[in-house]
Amino acid sequence: MPEVKLRYPEADLHCHTSASDGLLTPWELVKQAAELGLKAVGITDHDTLSGWEKASQAGKHFNVDILRGVELNTEWAGVEVHILGYEMNPQGTILEDKLSELREARFKRVYTIIEKLQDLGIPIQKAEVERITKGESVGRPHIAQVLVDKGIVNSIAEAFDRYIGTGGPAYVPRLKITPEEGIVLIRKAGGVAVLAHPGIYKLEKGIEQWVKAGLQGVEVSHSEHTLEDEKKYRAIAKEYGLLMTGGSDFHGEKRKPGVRLGGWGTSYGTVEQIRNLANLACSHHI
């Protein structure tokens, strides 16, 4: 049989590197993007901007445009809401301080989860999680990976389902910020605020209030969106005049099986739209 050539969009604007819970370093991810023919990637690690510099260097080397981003985990009515921020200039803003606070809270949460697992008789040590945490942002996927590596569970998904997911015996709630707080942090740093993968938690009812807080876009194309989700959120984006973005939410095959870099995304024109909005913010000193 002839090899089937996968069709990739021009830009994958939702990617995680080893700066948070992705498996590839920023350099490796950008190299892979270039090999796939992507024109641009968004580096959107959780609560950290530390992957930006290496990704930018790799972007120049491999001729891939780098959209500098971050993913903030927020909570609304007991449901997770992830806000993507793009092209911030965080220096001297409260965003830097808040990201530092969120990262510190992540470490405390992870250590509490490890203690809960130990109380359940599961032999897991802090050092084992620290060993596979290559960046400055740690999370539950790192714990899940250790549980897989030790043969305690068969997959990342099983680790969440049995132990560390919401309602699990070792679950620990995160430090909570609201979607509005996340949006304002991004906007005050001159960035563009986008609602990530709203179809996972069916977030359409919150969009109107988040638009009032400054939301500028909705991630329409995503690895966990159905075609019906895409259609629904395209219509909502049009209704509110929001940008429509797209990304795979790539973490690496071992961490998110079946989620290919560039398997979901958008056109390069979306990158230009995001940059234009960010430049407008700078000129108005938002």
The DSSP string of 41-97 is EEE--BT--TTHHHHHHHHHHHT-EEEEEEEEEEEETTEEEEEEEES---TTSHHHH
pLDDT in tens, 189-208: 999 999 999 999 999 999 99
Which whole number is the average pLDDT over 61-68? 98
Is the pLDDT at 2 greater than 70? The verdict is no
Q: What whole-number percentage of the chain has pLDDT above 70?
A: 95
Q: What is the pLDDT of residue 18?
A: 94
Residue 286 is predicted with a pLDDT of 45
Mean pLDDT of 148-170: 93
Q: Which of 56-65, 205-214, 248-257 has the lowest mean pLDDT?
A: 248-257
CA distance 88 to 189: 5
pLDDT in tens, 136-149: 778 898 999 999 99
pLDDT at 144: 93
**Mean model confidence pLDDT for the chain:** 92
Judging by DSSP bridges, how do beta strands 243-247 and 217-222 pair with one another? parallel
pLDDT classification of 42: cutoffs 50, 70, 90: very high
Least confident of 92-101, 150-159, 199-208: 92-101
CATH number for the 11-99+175-284 domain, one of 3.50.30.30, 3.20.20.140, 3.40.50.300, 2.120.10.30?
3.20.20.140
Match domain 100-164 to its CATH number in 1.10.150.650, 1.25.40.10, 3.40.190.10, 1.10.3720.10. 1.10.150.650
Question: Which pLDDT does position 247 carry in this prediction?
Answer: 97
Domain extent listing, the chain: 11-99+175-284, 100-164
- Provide the pLDDT for residue 135: 77
Tokens of 161: 């389902």
Mean pLDDT of 23-30: 97
Strands 192-195 and 79-86: antiparallel
Whether 250 has a pLDDT exceeding 50, the answer reads yes
pLDDT at 281: 75
Query: What does the pLDDT read at residue 91?
Result: 79
The reported pLDDT for the residue numbered 4 is: 45
47 Cβ contact list (under 8 Å, min separation 6): 20, 70, 71, 72, 73, 99, 102, 103, 106, 137
Task: State both tokens at 209.
Answer: 């209030």
Q: Which tokens in the block code for residue 47? A: 């609560």
pLDDT band at 284 (very low <50, low <70, confident <90, very high): low
Secondary structure of the chain: what % helix, strand, coil (to 5)?
45, 15, 40
The residues, any chain, with a CB within 8 Å of residue 252's CB and separated by 6 or more, are: 22, 23, 24
Quick check: 59 pLDDT over 60?
Answer: yes
Instruction: Please give the biggest Cα pair distance in the chain.
Output: 57
What confidence category does residue 176 fall into, taking pLDDT thresholds of 50, 70 and 90?
confident
Half-sphere exposure of 26 (CA within 13 A, CB side): 27
Prediction pTM value: 0.87
